[in-house]
Amino acid sequence: ILNVEQSPQSLHVQEGDSTNFTCSFPSSNFYALHWYRWETAKSPEALFVMTLNGDEKKKGRISATLNTKEGYSYLYIKGSQPEDSATYLCAPTFDGTASKLTFGTGTRLQVTL
């Protein structure tokens, strides 16, 4: 089983703070990296998928970057809001022929007023 690490494990910030977290993965045989947002009592929802080294994606206040050579991705949240509270999961795929994602354990973000 491939090792995908996310850090920090959990994060507690105040409303308005900007924050970022990391996903590390093996760089060999890499095809794509997915980021998912998982709110408590709901199911994971897709945020981004990236494939190329240097890729950057943005969705509102959330953005992500990808470094395939060294095997990491950063997720940034600018001006955190309470509704951003969730667990953020990264999932690289090393199998280009099927949807076989390897999920990290996630970063749990809590944003308070």
Partner 1 sequence: EAQVTQNPRYLITVTGKKLTVTCSQNMNHEYMSWYRQDPGLGLRQIYYSMNVEVTDKGDVPEGYKVSRKEKRNFPLILESPSPNQTSLYFCASSLRPRGGPAGTDTQYFGPGTRLTVL
Residues of the shown chain interacting with partner 1 in the complex, contacts defined by CB under 8 A? 1, 4, 31-32, 34, 42-46, 49, 51, 89, 91, 93, 95-106
User: In angstroms, what is the minimal distance from the CB of 71 to partner 1?
Assistant: 15
Q: Which is nearer to partner 1, 83 or 97 (CB)?
A: 97
According to DSSP, the residues that pair with 38 across neighbouring strands are: 87
Q: Which is nearer to partner 1, 40 or 83 (CB)?
A: 40
CA-wise closest residue to 111 among 17, 13, 11: 13
Residues in Cβ contact with 26 at an 8 Å cutoff, skipping those fewer than 6 apart: 2, 3, 71, 92, 94
User: In angstroms, what is the minimal distance from the CB of 46 to partner 1?
Assistant: 4
Q: Which is nearer to partner 1, 28 or 97 (CB)?
A: 97
